[in-house]
Structure 1
Amino acid sequence: MRSTSSSKRYFVWLPLWIAFGIVIGIVIGNGFSIFTSQKKIFSGGNKFDAVLQYINEAYVDTVNTEELIEKAIPGLLAELDPHSTYFTAKEMELTGDDLEGHFGGVGVQFVLRNDTVMVVSVIVGGPSQAAGIRPGDRIVYVNDSLFAGKGMTTDKVMLNLRGAEGTDVKLGIKRFDNPKIVNITVRRGDIPVNTVDMSYQPAEKIGYIKISKFGGTTTQEFISAISKLKKAGSESFIIDLRQNTGGYLQAAIDMVNEYLDKGELIVYTQGRAFKREDAFANGSGTSKKDQLIVLMDEGSASASEVFAGAIQDNDRGLIVGRRSFGKGLVQSQQKFVDGSALRLTIARYYTPAGRSIQKPYELGKSGDYNQDLMNRYLRGEFDSQDSIKQDNEPVFHTAAGRLVHGNGGIMPDVFIPRDTIGVNSYYISVMNNGLVYEYAFTYTDKNRQRLEQFKTWQEMDAYLAYQPLLTNLISLADVKGIRYRPYLVTECRNLLNLQLRANIVRNFFGDEGYYSIVLQDDIVLKKAIELIQEKKATPAAIKGQTYKDVKKNSIMGYYRDRTPSISIISMDMNNWV
């Protein structure tokens, strides 16, 4: 009886247990399906896309995947070399077409002082001049919105004042002699960007050309400068590439072509996925027999180093100054539909002798790389040629057999240390706080009518030499918390006076007047002129040098009683919108 009863109960519960087991299996199966699909996602294909897709489909909260991508790309590139870079659409908009030689804007040069946009100069014939904007105007409103106070940055100014050609922007202007706001509407135009800052003759039959970067118009500007100088009687040339961070490779190639014979190698590029490409001179240059000197320093990079390397390796001219930056990586830019862009390193630059310009780096360690210039300074490289580390650098030879080093920038043939005479704590404090700039602008504002009467920068400079500029600057510095220290002021008075005069002149005569003044005591330029006058920069003289001759030419300690070179000057006047 019991066995029969038990059998009946078994058959009654059996279907229920089976159903329960099926339900449990479904639940467990659904739970594990997440991990199964996860396995499937990561089983192949693009893992980065798969992760984004999975986050978008299954993450607990709603997220903006586009923002995640914008934040992830820089992190990805940070694991590569120091020069592979991502630019957001906003950053690309701020960059504009400067290297192309133009941008859409209002056509004024400005500085930020006391959180206010101050117009330094206005392009002749440009949109702002046509609308009535004057040098000295303060831009305090843009499209009826306050445009002054805390939070003002150069990027913000460019973002609001640059724009598509033909578009209008309403500016609220405060003038020095008018308490009321003047409203002026400016129609943006095509604003040219010059890359040749100036060209003139610092000595008889010697032409000097300063180039700030290599852009789309550099070749045309450069050839025009050479033509102007040759008409003035120049037979030798000094090309100043100090603080020139580079730009378009083709511009550097075209410039070198002016000095080399047909068939001489200028540069070649090569990368893992890109076969070697050579660039040769075509023989059409107009200055193939002229003496040539190239000025460089630690701020000269990329295309500047291509130019100098080609001149040096072909024994065509002398490199004078200090070791260059060492940026020899080639970037290719790819734009995205949203306006952002990726600049990826695809190859390396090599000089004609086969040396890589690029200094050493480790993948993903851009911090150490960016510290390199500071390390050079700390070990005394800017003051002594013997402090330059070259023990592990490969040795190459120029066409004439001169010894040169690779893998770390371009070493000068004639080394000139930085000059520190007069540079003390008081000078550094005044310069770093922008007080020379501030006082120069204030002085210009108060004396504009008087200063506008001068027809040349020489006349204005002669007048300024007798004005109490330094006395007034010292008073301003004292108000700003920089205590007057008689001994230190006496020590740096010549430097400060030079900078004051140059900055005031710049407000009326631009870079030509500015550089003409600061270059008067430039020790690097003086040495270049001396070498040319001694006929040491001819191709024949250079090819006859030995390595010992080059070492002997370095002038460590020479000219120590002079004022510093222009590498220490403030460069924040180059803001155009």
Structure 2
Amino acid sequence: MGTERRKGIWLPLWISIGIAIGLFIGSKFSIFNTPGNLVGSGKLDAVLNYIHESYVDTVNTYQLVEDALPNIIQELDPHSEYISAADMKRVNESLEGHFSGIGVSFYVLRDTIVVTSIVPGGPSEAAGIMPWDRIVAVDDSVVAGKKIRNEQVLKVLRGERGTEVKLGIKRAGNDFIENITVTRGEIPVKSVNAAFMLSDEIGYIKLGVNFGFNTFSEFISAISKLKSMGANSFIIDLRGNAGGSLEVVVAMVNEFLQKGDLIVYTEGRNFPRTDNYANGSGTCKNDDVVVLIDELSASASEIFAGAIQDHDRGLVIGRRSFGKGLVQSQRNFPDGSAVRLTVARYYTASGRSIQRTYEKGRYDEYEMDAINRYIQGDYVNIDTLNNLIPYETLGGRTVYGGDGIMPDIFIPRDTTGYNSYYNSVVNRRLDEEYAMVYSDMNRERLSTFSTWQELYRYLRQQPLLLNLVSYADNNGIRRRPYYIQESGELFETNLYAYIIRNFFGEEAFWAAYYREDPLLNKGIELIETGMTKKVNILNEQFK
């Protein structure tokens, strides 16, 4: 009787516990049996919970999500992307225009880190590091004599601001290794590579690979510098520039347009049209301007070129641009990762969409488009207009949209000298390596020149090409006399520019490298003959 009474007391409790467990399991897995259309996020949550609760082995669910998210986002379009926390730091450095490090440029010569230049006012200059120093040890770990890549060097030299790194330095003329401790600091990343005069009145500005948050201030400084030297005309070089911040490029174009001129507008399904106008405060509103673009100019570069073109403000020359006209909005996660989602499209003042066509799920073909255009000859012949839509500028000229920016004047890519021998040497960077070897062996003599032009004239008298050929031969690339002769001028241009950079910096490099550049020469001709003032009557496109 006592046993039955105890059963009667506990039975309702066990039934209640069983119901609760059933409800819990049902809440976890009922979605798998729910009829009708399910919300995608609900499916994802259910699957992840199911894996976490029931999978046979232990699974790192966080890593599972990290691996899955890029594939999910990339299915939307070519430019939406998921950026991991690790990659986000690198992306931010590029946009923010600075990173934390020791403030040197270096070259890994064979198996040794050679310092090629010092950032003025940076941590290494303060610590006493000098150009041509060898870094043989980092924090008591020997790095000389080992195969080391640039990425590995960056990893050990960069770090949190205020942290210290001890470098073992071997300096020419010293038989000992000097230990120097450097405190890392903020190092600027320049996005304006060069600004120099091409003639008494024409200034040249070369943009780097993207538009960062500091690009506008650097651009304004470059304009101010050139104006102080007498510039009243400008050639803006956007070749190879992949774009960046919309706000930055709007501010840059504003320097050349009149108040009220529409620079660009954006519009999307849930993104109302937003217009960006010039405010009239620009410092170059009456200066002549030529813009250089090529097949790698994208996004913000195309906005700049399109605005100049649509307002008949100047001439765009070169080759059809990449065609990236999608606007991304970024949402950040607490772990430092982020999603950049396409929310709108860019349109130029004439209503042109910059974005070239793409097919969902076939983004490999999209990324290969630049190579395909090269194969089909678009870079040496006028690009086909089959996929392009005609529009009119404010002055009535015909321009084209829908597949990048077509230049007003097409300048083919000069392929003279590009052959298998040249590609073999350049792909292995033996020309750059030999330039470093030559600079190192002759640095006392080469350091005596006061200008890069003096050094250039000296280098032209040296047998650099013959020396390079021997160097390449010793590194496994056999001599091919016909191809060497065909590529001679290209090799010499590279060698002069690389050596000059080792002694006079990045700006001198570009000045030397582009001495005979056909686009620059055409830009100078257009300005000097007054064609940039007659844009509104230039109706013969692409000649």
| TM-score, normalising length: structure 2 | 0.90
Question: CA 1:140/1:81 → structure 2, altered by over 3 Å: closer, same or farther?
Answer: farther
What is the match of residue 49 of structure 1?
45
Q: Deviations over 1:97-138 (max 9, x none)?
A: 232222211101123343543322111221112222222233
Secondary structure (helix, strand or coil) at the match of 2:227 reads helix
Contact 1:87 1:342 (8 Å CA) reproduced: yes
The residue that corresponds to 2:515 in the other structure is 520
Equivalent residue for 1:427? Answer: 422
Q: Does residue 31 of structure 2 align to residue 40 of structure 1?
A: yes
Higher RCO structure, 1 or 2 (CA under 8 Å, sep 6+) = 1
Query: 1:219–1:236: structure 2 CA closer, same or farther, 3 Å change rule?
Result: same
Q: 1:309 & 1:286 partners in 2: Cα distance?
A: 20
Q: CA deviation at 1:157?
A: 2.9
Residue 183 of structure 2 is matched in structure 1 by 187
1:389–1:107 CA distance, 2 compared to 1 (3 A): same
**2:386: which partner in 1?**
391
- Indicate how the Cα distance of structure 1 residues 34 and 224 shifts in structure 2: closer, same or farther if over 3 A, else same: closer
SS at match of 2:272: coil
In structure 1, the partner of 2:219 is 222
Counterparts of 1:149 and 1:408 in 2: how far apart (Å)? 50
Distance 1:77 1:40, change over 3 A: closer
**Can you give the 5+ residue segments of structure 2 that lack an aligned partner in the other structure?**
1-20
Structure 2 counterpart of 1:15: none
AA in 2 matched with 1:286: T
How far is the alpha carbon of 1:188 from its aligned partner?
A: 0.6
The 8 Å contact of residues 242 and 297 in structure 1, kept in 2 or not, is answered as yes
Partners of 1:92 and 1:120 lie apart in 2 by 28
Any unmatched runs of 5+ in structure 1?
1-29, 555-577
Partner of 1:269, secondary structure, is strand
Is the deviation greater in 352-361 or in 97-106? 97-106
Query: Quick check: 2:191–2:211 contact (8 Å CA) kept in 1?
Result: yes
Please name the residue that 1:279 is paired with: 276
Per the alignment, in what secondary structure is the counterpart of residue 514 of structure 2? helix
What secondary structure, in the 3-state scheme, does the structure 1 residue paired with 2:291 have?
strand
* Secondary structure, counterpart of 1:298 in structure 2: coil
2:135 to 135, 139, 146: 139
Pairing 1:245–2:242 present: yes
Answer whether contact 2:387 2:402 (CA < 8 A) is retained.
no
Question: Are residue 438 (structure 1) and residue 429 (structure 2) matched?
Answer: no
Residue 73 of structure 1 corresponds to 69
CA drift of 1:42 comes to 6.2
Choose the corresponding residue for 1:254, options 247, 251, 254.
251
Contact 1:170 1:183 in 2 (8 A): yes
Does the alignment pair 1:542 with 2:535? yes
Q: Which residue of 2 aligns with 1:27?
A: none
Deviations 1:165-223, CA, capped at 9 Å, x for gaps: 21111223344555654332210111112211111121231111111131222212212
Contact kept in structure 2, 1:423 and 1:492, CA below 8 Å: yes
Bigger Cα displacement from structure 2, 333-342 vs 63-72: 333-342
Question: 1:17 aligns to what?
Answer: none
1:259 Cα deviation from its structure 2 partner: 0.9
Q: How many angstroms apart in 1 are the aligned matches of 2:220 and 2:204?
A: 13
2:387 alignment partner, SS class: coil
Comparing 328-337 with 312-321, which one deviates more in the overlay?
328-337
Deviation of residue 66 (structure 1)? 0.7
Shift of the 116–87 alpha-carbon distance from structure 1 to 2, 3 Å rule, reads farther
1:209 aligns with 2:182: no
**1:333 shift after superposition:** 2.1
Kindly state the Cα deviation for residue 314 of structure 1 after the two structures are TM-superposed. Answer: 0.9
Going from structure 1 to structure 2, the CA distance change for 1:37 and 1:221 (only over 3 Å counts) comes to closer
Task: Please tell me the residue identity of whatever aligns with 2:123.
Answer: P
| Aligned-partner Cα distance in 2 for 1:86–1:147 | 35
Identity %: 54
Q: How does 1:127-526 map to 2 (within 5 A)?
A: 127-147=123-143, 152-175=148-171, 177-178=173-174, 180-212=176-208, 213-385=210-382, 388-526=383-521
C-alpha distance in structure 2 between counterparts of 1:92 and 1:488, whole Å: 44
Tell me the C-alpha RMSD between the 2 structures: 2.3
1:83 to 2:79 alignment: yes
**1:108/1:128 contact within 8 Å kept:** yes
Instruction: State the distance in 2 between where 1:419 and 1:384 align.
Output: 11
Find the aligned partners of 1:53 and 1:359 in 2 and give their Cα distance.
40
The residue number in structure 1 matching 2:7 is none
**Counterpart code for 2:501:** R
User: Residue 384 and residue 354 in structure 1: after superposition, are their counterparts in 2 closer, same or farther (change >3 A)?
Assistant: same
Alignment-mate amino acid for residue 421 of structure 2: Y
Structure 1 residue 86: deviation in Å?
1.9
Supply the distance in 2 between the matched residues of 1:305 and 1:455 (Cα, whole angstroms). Answer: 38
Equivalent residue letter for 2:154: M
- Structure-2 separation of matches of 1:226 and 1:550: 29
State the partner residue of 2:14.
Answer: none
CA offsets, 1:196-253, max 9 Å, x none? 1111121231111111131222212212222222222222111011111111111111
Which has the higher mean CA deviation after the structures are superposed, 175-184 or 106-115? 175-184
Count of matched residue positions in the alignment of Structure 1 and Structure 2: 518
Instruction: After TM superposition, give the deviation of residue 148 of structure 1 in Å.
Output: 5.8
Partner Cα distance (1:414, 1:60) in 2? 64
Is the 2:311–2:394 contact (alpha carbons within 8 Å) kept by the matching residues of 1?
yes
For the 8 Å contact 1:94–1:155, the answer to whether it is kept is no
* Residues 116, 325 of structure 1: alpha-carbon distance in 2 compared, 3 angstrom cutoff: farther
Q: Partner amino acid for 2:71?
A: G
Answer whether contact 1:400 1:543 (CA < 8 A) is retained.
Answer: yes
Of residues 469-478 and 44-53 in structure 1, the stretch that sits farther from structure 2 once superposed is: 44-53
* Gap change, CA 1:178 and 1:432, over 3 Å in 2: farther
Work out the CA distance in 1 between the residues paired with 2:333 and 2:174: 47
Q: Which moved more, 1:451-460 or 1:145-154?
A: 145-154
Contact 2:391 2:400 (C-alpha < 8 Å) held by counterparts: yes
- Deviation of 1:468 after TM superposition, in Å, equals 2.3
Indicate the SS of the match to 2:531.
coil
How much does 1:285 deviate?
Answer: 1.1
Q: CA deviation at 1:41?
A: 5.0
User: How many angstroms does 1:144 deviate by?
Assistant: 2.5
Write the deviation string for residues 482-512 of structure 1: whole angstroms up to 9, x where unpaired: 1112222222222212211110110111112
Partner Cα separation in structure 2 for residue 143 and residue 333 of structure 1: 38
Q: Does the 8 A contact of 1:268 with 1:277 survive in 2?
A: yes
The amino acid that maps onto 1:252 is: V
Decide whether aligned partners of structure 1 residues 486 and 289 sit closer, same or farther in structure 2, where only a CA change above 3 A counts: same
The structure with the largest alpha-carbon Rg is: 1
Mark the CA change 1:514 to 1:36 in structure 2 (over 3 Å): closer, same or farther: closer
The question of 1:119 aligning with 2:115 is answered yes
Structure 1 length-normalised TM: 0.85
Do the aligned residues in 1 keep the contact of 2:31 with 2:46 (CA within 8 Å)? Answer: no
Q: Is the 8 A contact 2:241 2:301 kept in 1?
A: yes
Query: For 2:235, what is the secondary structure of its paired residue?
Result: strand
